[in-house]
Chains A and B, each alone.
Chain A
Amino acid sequence: MSASADAPPGSPPGLRVSVDLNLCQAYAQCCYAAPRHFRIEGHEALYYDPAPAAQDRDDIERARVACPVQAIRVEDPERRG
């Protein structure tokens, strides 16, 4: 496969989320902002959805902004400026 494009063909569409779990201190603000996409298990194990549905972008954005250590990175191909 060889491809050249702005949005590479074959790359999954939609939102992409990654959390730098070294930075994350399990403050759980993201879990309050977007409970269906972020949750803490045990004392501080953050489980998150790296590929949320496009209609959930506002929740995801709220979670990203809520994180006190800016550990959440979001890519939204449809909202790229």
Chain B
Amino acid sequence: MARTSERAVIVGAGLAALRGAEAMRAAGFSGPLAVIGAEPHYPYDRPPLSKHVLAGAIPADATTLPGIHGLDADWHLGNPAIGLDRGRRAVLLADGRDLPYDRLLIATGTRARPWPNPHEGRLAGVFTLRGRDDAAALRRALAAGPRRVLVIGGGFIGCEVASLCRKLGLPVTLVEPGPTPLARVLGSTVGAFIGAIHAGHGVEIRCGAEVEWLEDAEGRLVRAHLVDGSRIDADVAVIALGAVRNTEWLDGSGLSADPGGVDCDASGHVHDTDGQTDPRIAAAGDVARFSHPLYEGRRVALEHWSHAAAQAVHAGRLLAGTPPGEPYGALPTFWSTQGDLVVKSAGLTEGADAVAITQGDPAAGRFIALYGRAGRCIAALSVDSARWLPAHAEMVAAGAPFPPHGAAADRPKAIKILEPGFS
């Protein structure tokens, strides 16, 4: 166990930071513990931002996470880390201070990928959605009753925002360059099923289309111009182009890090550009890139809430000197509430060569899709069918044969195997 005179520093003040700090304390670490956050807020929950907060059901500042009280930590908020000096074992803060560490957890997460044209990105009416303040600002804009909302990007956040706008009764257009919404993660077969559900609720979906530029009048967004020459009049645009990992502050530290994440070895410790493990430093959450034991050691950086929490607990124990017996390898799980539709997944779809609908019916808007690769189950997705997911998640965790045999009660007689449609 770590000696109590040792100092711990956690960089980032999000979900992974908080759960990592709790795990260190629970594992008996009793030394000084500092948490450094770029934002002025205590750790808060992001999933409700694109759901409850945009819906107006709760204010953005109601999202502060449980677990902050009783942690006995030094909070440095609104004061980002700008550098890491591993030689001196110190984290450099924006206000010029140095924080020495003996144990360090890197949990700086991601930020929204900005609109490529900075001037257009700053127009009134143009939003990204990552933080609490973003959500509060976008909520105000939606509550003001815009004529039309334009959502740029058909990933999970884009689908959540677009379907939520329909829940609010707002006209909304979703523009996505791929063949269907969610095609990159779920493939175009399942993406088309989900897209059809949203279209049925009135989301205007423009796939295979790309926004070229945003037009303003006196600094306010008025319309978007598409590459094909068409235009969409809209006074609110939500840029939902995915995330970039916050690793710039590690430049010059010698750690192996880039916009795709900071690299961890099998134990959870980070390693440097020569592949040497730094036993004082671990990483967790959206920022961490690691080899997933369930997927033949493929290097992944996940953007999933449960993963951030679970990996942080693993890293916290590691840093407290009571390492878990085995490498971190939780089955990746994810949920997304899109309007009233609940999409959940277990496993990773990447590399799938087939997909089977094993429960329900996409035409009815409720189903389970099971993804296979080289004869094994690799991922399962539920659409408004969460009760069926755990049994499928077990098949994925076990790498059960695909297509599945053995019968569930209401499974269609012959399971249809489809092309998943990954490009």
Kindly state the separation between the CA atoms of A43 and B384 in the bound complex, as whole angstroms.
6
Most buried by B among A6, A12, A44: A44
A45 & B337 in contact (Cβ 8 Å cutoff): yes
With A22-B344, A24-B386 already in contact, the answer to whether A11 and B57 are too (CB < 8 A) is no
Kindly state the separation between the CA atoms of A12 and B69 in the bound complex, as whole angstroms.
10
A43 & B75 in contact (Cβ 8 Å cutoff): no
Whether B47 is near chain A, meaning CB under 8 Å from some CB there, is yes
Interface residues of B in 52-84 (CB under 8 A from A): 52, 55, 57-58, 61-70, 72-79
- Number of interchain pairs (Cβ within 8 Å): 111
Interface residues of B in 68-120 (CB under 8 A from A): 68-70, 72-79
Interface string of A34-59 (1 = CB under 8 A from B): 00000001111101111100000000
What is B's interface to A at a CB cutoff of 8 Å?
Answer: 40, 42, 45, 47-48, 51-52, 55, 57-58, 61-70, 72-79, 305-306, 333-335, 337, 339-342, 344, 366, 384, 386-387, 390
- Write out the residue numbers on chain A whose beta carbons fall within 8 Å of the beta carbon of B366: 43
B65 & A20 in contact (Cβ 8 Å cutoff): no
- Write out the residue numbers on chain B whose beta carbons fall within 8 Å of the beta carbon of A80: 69-70
Kindly state the separation between the CA atoms of A10 and B67 in the bound complex, as whole angstroms.
15
Kindly state the separation between the CA atoms of A6 and B98 in the bound complex, as whole angstroms.
23
A25 & B42 in contact (Cβ 8 Å cutoff): no
With A8-B75, A42-B341 already in contact, the answer to whether A18 and B62 are too (CB < 8 A) is no
Whether A74 is near chain B, meaning CB under 8 Å from some CB there, is yes
B384 & A42 in contact (Cβ 8 Å cutoff): yes
- Chain A proximity of B70: nearest CB distance (Å): 6
B78 & A1 in contact (Cβ 8 Å cutoff): yes
- Chain A proximity of B245: nearest CB distance (Å): 22
User: Which are the 3 A-B pairs with shortest beta-carbon distances?
Assistant: A42-B340, A75-B66, A16-B66
Kindly state the separation between the CA atoms of A73 and B58 in the bound complex, as whole angstroms.
18
- Write out the residue numbers on chain A whose beta carbons fall within 8 Å of the beta carbon of B51: 47
Which residue of chain B has its CB nearest to the CB of A80? B70
- Write out the residue numbers on chain B whose beta carbons fall within 8 Å of the beta carbon of A51: 58, 62-64
B64 & A12 in contact (Cβ 8 Å cutoff): yes
Kindly state the separation between the CA atoms of A78 and B363 in the bound complex, as whole angstroms.
50
A25 & B387 in contact (Cβ 8 Å cutoff): yes
B386 & A41 in contact (Cβ 8 Å cutoff): no
Kindly state the separation between the CA atoms of A6 and B70 in the bound complex, as whole angstroms.
5
Which residue of chain A has its CB nearest to the CB of B33? A4
- Write out the residue numbers on chain A whose beta carbons fall within 8 Å of the beta carbon of B76: 1-2
B69 & A4 in contact (Cβ 8 Å cutoff): no
Which residue of chain B has its CB nearest to the CB of A17? B66
